[in-house]
């Protein structure tokens, strides 16, 4: 027991009558996170559902030297034989892999949780958050695969500049057949800051407050038609680093591919939800060995790969970290 003298202060009574803190919020506020969804950029080509195919790999054939790649020969005379042409065949492959994520809660934690805390314990709310985790995993796979493009513009020892950007745009425009409506550039946030710093010295932006603000102001993670260059820019911290350089990359539709497997055939004997187009299964696990613990388990079956350089444009845009 404690003797409380006048004036009666909160600090004196808190140990017996109060709490060091209470939770008043009606919902749990989530931490800041990278929310870029590469699917919004619509440039990673979907190659199909492998469910029921008997294989974990899809083969994507391609041919070079046909159509616009083949010219007709002018015949010397009216009886000259037609020369027979040839073409180059090849195939890319996309192999799916299993990915997983799970959470566990004790029975006591679920019983005593405040309303604001229920989001981390309840199956229905976790399903939504796991879908976001799928997007994060997919984005990381896209960034890792894009970092394997063979040709690079920029350098590990310098910051990203407007000249670097225009160089890779020039390479894109000089590539026969590169789709002008599907140019996508993926950058690390630091690379975008480097590019913005370079833009400050550009006369065109110095003479236009509105154009300057459009580039330098606070923005989201997707920049459609960046600088009017016909490129959709996506910005994500999942862009990888290697050799002291951020491995940004620019590509056209078809340079990156993905495939999945529909998990509906699994049909687990527990409450579950599937997202067939993502190859995603989320199931509610049972109490294991009487440990008073309930789990939520997620499994995703998909893969990302790059196409042959003869099929679509793909180059890295690198700069110092």
Which residues sit opposite 319 in a β-bridge?
A: 246
Higher pLDDT, 277 or 6: 277
Which H/E stretch holds residue 315? strand 314-320
Which of helix, strand or coil describes residue 76?
coil
pLDDT of 109: 85
The angle formed by the CA atoms of residues 43, 47 and 50, to the nearest 5 degrees, is 145
Domain ranges of the chain: 31-74+87-321
Q: What mean pLDDT, rounded, does the chain reach?
A: 88
Band (pLDDT 50/70/90 cuts) for residue 25 is low
What pTM value is reported for the model? 0.86
Query: What's the CA gap between 316 and 174, in Å, rounded?
Result: 16
Which H/E stretch holds residue 143? helix 123-146
Query: What's the CA gap between 137 and 101, in Å, rounded?
Result: 11
Digit-coded pLDDT (tens) for 115-137: 777 777 788 888 888 888 999 99
């Amino acid at each position: 027991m404690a003797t409380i003298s006048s004036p009666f202060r909160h600090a004196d009574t808190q140990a017996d009558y109060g709490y060091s803190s209470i939770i008043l919020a009606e919902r749990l506020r989530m931490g800041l996170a990278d929310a870029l969804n590469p699917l919004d950029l619509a440039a990673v080509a979907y190659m199909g559902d492998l469910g029921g195919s008997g294989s974990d790999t899809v083969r994507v054939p391609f041919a070079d030297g046909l159509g616009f790649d083949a010219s007709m020969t002018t015949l010397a005379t009216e009886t000259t034989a037609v020369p027979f042409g040839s073409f180059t065949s090849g195939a890319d492959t996309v192999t799916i892999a299993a990915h997983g994520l799970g959470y566990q809660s004790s029975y006591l934690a679920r019983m005593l949780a405040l309303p604001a805390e229920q989001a981390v314990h309840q199956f229905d709310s976790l399903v939504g958050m796991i879908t976001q985790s799928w997007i994060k995993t997919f984005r990381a796979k896209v960034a890792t695969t894009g970092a394997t493009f063979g040709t690079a513009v920029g350098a590990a020892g310098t910051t990203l500049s407007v000249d670097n950007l225009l160089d890779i745009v020039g390479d894109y425009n000089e590539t026969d057949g590169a789709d002008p409506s599907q140019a996508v550039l993926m950058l690390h946030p630091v690379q975008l800051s480097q590019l913005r710093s370079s833009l400050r010295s550009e006369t065109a932006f110095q003479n236009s407050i509105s154009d300057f603000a459009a580039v330098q102001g606070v923005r989201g993670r997707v920049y459609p038609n960046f600088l009017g260059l016909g490129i959709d820019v996506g910005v994500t911290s999942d862009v990888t680093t290697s050799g002291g350089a951020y491995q940004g990359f620019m590509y056209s539709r078809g340079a990156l591919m993905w495939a999945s497997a529909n998990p509906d055939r699994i049909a687990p004997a527990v409450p579950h939800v599937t997202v067939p187009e993502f190859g995603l299964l989320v199931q509610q696990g049972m109490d294991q060995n009487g440990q008073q613990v309930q789990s939520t388990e997620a499994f995703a079956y998909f893969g990302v790969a790059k196409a042959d350089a003869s099929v679509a444009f793909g180059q890295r845009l690198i700069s110092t970290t």
